[in-house]
Structure 1
Amino acid sequence: MSPIVDLYSVCKYHNYNFSYTNQFYSARTELPNEIDEDDSIRGMSGGEISDDVSIEEYDPECEDADLDEEVVLPSVMVGTITGITIRTTVQIRLRDRSRNIASRTLLLPLSARRQTPYPEKDVSGFVKRSLLNLQETGRLGVIQSSDLTNRLVTSCGSILANSSPSVVKQGWAIRPPKGKMYGAKYIKLYTGEILEIFVCGEKNTSEKLGPSRMLEKLKVKYPNRFNLPSENDIRGEVSRLIQSRKRKQAVEIGTNSDSLTPNKRYRMPTDYASFLKKLVEDDPSILPASAVAKFRAQFPDSASGASTDQVSYKVSSLKQQAKRKRAFQSPIRDE
């Protein structure tokens, strides 16, 4: 609480002539450093009252003082004997304690207020009114609890009558074929694009991509698709392409060229093979060079159909077959 000051003491201290008025002054309460504690007087603030200070005292030194000059009051003044009180602006405000206020509840903003839960009575009433409204508008059918079982049985019967459940056979589960797996495979949808990436890698080594990089490239090309093949599926397709590149096409030579396989690139005509086989059977130790000479004498026009290396390879193969056959048919000698 701010102290109440003695206006006369203050004016005397500052050498001003003082006359009593009913005017109220408002100032901040702060004593100047020059005021001695003995000059303070006891008033409502509890200050000491000085004996030598009175409202009737007159200072002759203040006769020539200019009464029109504005009096500058100090920031703090203590005590009162004149009945003139000087209060601060904070003291002038209305005080709740001195006023008869019915409620002191401070209203918080809506954002800070706590949501008060609805009473149970209000909730049940709202539910009943909502159900009644739905029933009146025809959007909700209300049945008794005793009829609930019959309704459910009837609904289930109608659903089963209109549906055709799949028949499950007894026995073991069917295994997928060799090399196949359960579930859908989408690798066939992207075989052409994987082949294109693979061919680019064959032509330029710097563009060669692995299965994971191929999958990333497909994701960039088709960002909204969910049927992209997995990395393992792409790896299997790449392995298949590599194996197909290793296989060389068979050379179709001879009348029985339909029986050629990718592993057997050349098949000698039947009359050439029969003549060489007879030579080996007649002379198992015949040299390939002697067999080539006899073969050329028998077939002068065979240079285009069978080269010297092919004839020599055929003779050596027939000699090895005859040797294994004799070793298998010969009886085991007892030592």
Structure 2
Amino acid sequence: MSEATSTRSAQSRRVRAGTWRDAVLANGSVVSIALFFLIVSVIFSVATDAFLTSPNLLNILRQSAPLLIVAAAMTFVITTGGIDLSVGSVLALVATLSATLLQLGLPWPLVILAMLALGALLGAVQGYFVAYESIPAFIVTLAGLSVIRGVALLITGGYSIPIEPGSPFTVLGRAWLLGVPAPALIALAILAIAYIAFNETPFGRYVTGIGANAEAVRRAGVNTRLTTLFVYVISAAAAALAGIIIAARLGSGSSNAGQGFELEVIAAVVLGGTSLFGGRGTIVGTVLGALTVAVIGNGLILAHLSPFLTPIVTGTIILIAIWLNFRLFRSAVRSR
């Protein structure tokens, strides 16, 4: 009897060990970016005295809020196998138009609603060409990047448009609630919604299914074209929200805002473990990826590294992290 009990106990331990191992392998990309995030944070904590101070950590949260918001939306796009290169241009156009409309005397709540609607419209137009005209997303959104940025430049003539410092609009970017910056709270709310939508709703399953096997999802009765269009609406609307937050925080709208922003967003999403080929995505990984990008940028500034070297070091670190992510956990999965 005792021999049978010990056998069952040993089997139970093996099952538990296998379950833990399977869980780690299934979430390998998230585990790896979490470890990398911790390593980077420890390095900058040791290298600089100011990194772990409360003001600096809150500053990281405030400045990374637009990146977190758009990266969460971009996770949906990339999981379908697509990409959106126009988010930086949408951000710039919305920031520019927000300042312009406020100067014209439009009420600030109406400005916010109009800009979110504009972002959704721009996403719908691009999504239509991707989903219904079968034009590659790279081409469509690359054209969008150029055209939308051009419109923003045309409006401003290359100059910044100031926002009245006393406008309630600036609260979105500058206010604090319970000691936390308002942009960080907005980002937290968006991330919670994105997590639930991606993991707990049919829409999230359709997004993953389209990236893995769009034809099978279509034959199951899902309107794959409409779903694909909608992820671009989400992405552009998120970029519009980011543009509103940046305009409110800086107190001005500039057509030069968001230069290279799309690359930071894509880097954060891929760094977090979402596959560029579609079919696999993770909101938790995206959050860690975005925070890693933000921490690297902040830490390099605190380390007084030359601004000309910063993008080189940042790009190299991100490339190494992604390479290690793919290398380690692909080999781990193959060995199962």
Q: TM-score, normalised by structure 2?
A: 0.18
In terms of fraction of residues, the more helix-rich structure is 2
| Rg (Cα) greater in structure | 1
| TM score, norm. by length of structure 1 | 0.18
